[in-house]
Amino acid sequence: MNTSFIGVDIFSGAGGMSLGAEHSGIQIKTAVDIDKYSLETYKYNHKETKVIPEDIREVDPTDTKRFPKKPFVLLGGPPCQGFSYSFIRRNDDLNNPRNWMFKQFLRFVSKLEPSWVVFENVEGFTRFCGGKLVKDLKNELLKIGYTNLYSDILNAADFGVPQVRNRFFIVANKEGYKFDIVPNCIKRVTVKKAFSGLPSLNNGDKIDETSYKPGRLTNYAKLMKAASCSSKQNYVSRNQDYVIERYRYIKPGENWKSIPDRLMTNYKDKSRCHAGIYKRLDPNKPSIVIANYRKNMLIHPDEDRGLSLREAARLQSFPDDFIFKGPLRSMQQQIGNAVPPLLAKAIFDKIITLSCG
C-alpha cells in the first residue's frame, strides 16, 4: 500500500466505501460516525483506522492528533434517509436538520483540503427541492477550489455488484485531473452466481459458521470467498408461519400480488403495497435494491425464507471474511445502508490511475 495515499472517511457507517478504497491501495487513517454498532463493525474490519465515535457537528477536522493534514482523499455519504424517494414524497423539508448534513461534508473539505473528494448519496439527493442541494454542493466545492468536478448516478450492477442499485456520486479534485468512469462489467452478475457456494438454510436459522457447498464456484463467489475458509454469519430472521405461507405462492421475480387475498386480510388496502414488498429474487438477474431487506420481506430465490445476513452481504459485494457486529436488525441495516465495496473500488481505482499517470 502506498502510504502517500491517505484517506479520511466521514459518515463511514460499517465501512463499505472505506473497504473499496483500501482495496484500491488507499490507507484510511480516520473514520467518523455516530452509530454504535456500525462503528463496532468498522473497528473489527479496519483495525488500522482511528475511529471517532462522535457527532460530526462536534468534531474538529483541524485536530492534527485525529486527522492527517491535506489527505489524499476525503470520502463520505451523509445520512440519506431524508433523500429517499418515499421520504421526499412525504417531506420535501429544508428545515429538517438531517437534510443539511452535507454541509458538514463541505466543512471537512474546506478544513482538510484533500487532493480528492468523493461524495456519495442516494439517487433522491438529486431530486430533493428541485435539485437545490446538488446545485449548492457543487457551487460550494467550486468556491473552495475544486474546479475539476464530476457528478453522475452510477448503477452498482454495471460495476460487478449483483444488485441494481443507483447511487449519486460527486468526484472532485484540485489537481487538474479530469475524472470520468465507465461501466466495467460486461455481463451482470446474477443472484444465482452471487449465492454460489453458500449453504441451504431454513427460516430462523442462526448458524455462525458452516462449510461451503461442494462444487465449482462462480468467479464472483471465488472473489467473495477469497481468504475465507467457511461461510460465516448465516443468520435468517424468523418469520411467522403465516408469512412463510405467503412466500409459497410467490415465484421468482414476483411479489405480493401473487399472494391470495385470503392470506392478506391484515392489510387494509393491499394495493398500497410497493413493488419491493414480498419480492422473491429472480436467480437469473441481479437483485433489486436490498435496502432494509428484512422489513421488505425479500425472499430467497429457491427457498421459502428471507435472505441470510451473508447472502445480503454478497449482494452488496462484501467479502465473506467481513464480519458485522451488533444485534441482527442493526447488522441487516448496516448492510442495506452501505456503499457496495466493488462500486467504490471502481471509483478509487480510477482516481489512483489518474494520480499515478
Range(s) of the chain covered by CATH 3.40.50.150: 6-184+340-356
Q: What is the pLDDT of residues 99-140, one digit of tens each?
A: 578 899 999 999 999 999 999 999 988 887 788 889 999 999
Q: Which three cell numbers stand for residue 7?
A: 484517506
Residue of 290, 303, 305, 293 lying closest to 243 (CA atoms): 305
Answer CATH for 191-337 from 3.40.190.10, 3.90.120.10, 3.40.50.300, 1.20.1440.230: 3.90.120.10
Residue 85: name the closest of 121, 45, 51, 33 by CA: 121
Q: What is the location of CATH 3.90.120.10 in the chain?
A: 191-337
- Element containing residue 155 per DSSP (H, E): strand 148-155
Which grid cell sits at 247? 412466500
Query: What pLDDT is attached to residue 273?
Result: 75
Within the chain, which residues score under 70 in pLDDT? Answer: 1-3, 80-99
- The Cα–Cα gap between 279 and 258 comes to 10
> Would you please indicate which residues are annotated as catalytic (active-site) residues?
80
CATH number of this structure's domain 6-184+340-356: 3.40.50.150
Enter the pTM of the model.
0.93
So what's the pLDDT on residue 340? Answer: 98
Q: What is the pLDDT of residue 80?
A: 58
Alpha carbon distance 197, 190 (integer Å) = 14
State the Cα–Cα distance between residues 237 and 23, nearest whole angstrom.
Answer: 31
